[in-house]
Amino acid sequence: MRLSAEDQNTTIVAIDNLKQETKDLMEFLNKYTDFKVIVLQLERRVGNNLEVIIPKLYGVEI
């Protein structure tokens, strides 16, 4: 697999709790630098003997 120049500057960060400061930093880096930062938030919900992981992406349009 070959990566394009744009893909080579992409960083994906997985996090359980995305704070506003982190979101602001990601938006700043994406706007003013050549780096592309994508945050994958993994929210965990537990109840009734079930565990559910809810993924949310920030910094990328789907």
Q: Give the tens place of pLDDT for each residue, 14-26.
A: 998 889 999 999 9
pLDDT top residue among 1 and 19: 19
Query: Per the structure block, which two tokens stand in for 53?
Result: 């992981």
pTM of the model: 0.70
Residue 9: per-residue pLDDT: 80
Q: Read off the pLDDT band of 5 (50, 70, 90).
A: low
Residue 7: per-residue pLDDT: 59
pLDDT beyond 50 at 1: no
Give CA angle at 1 (10, 29), nearest 5°: 5
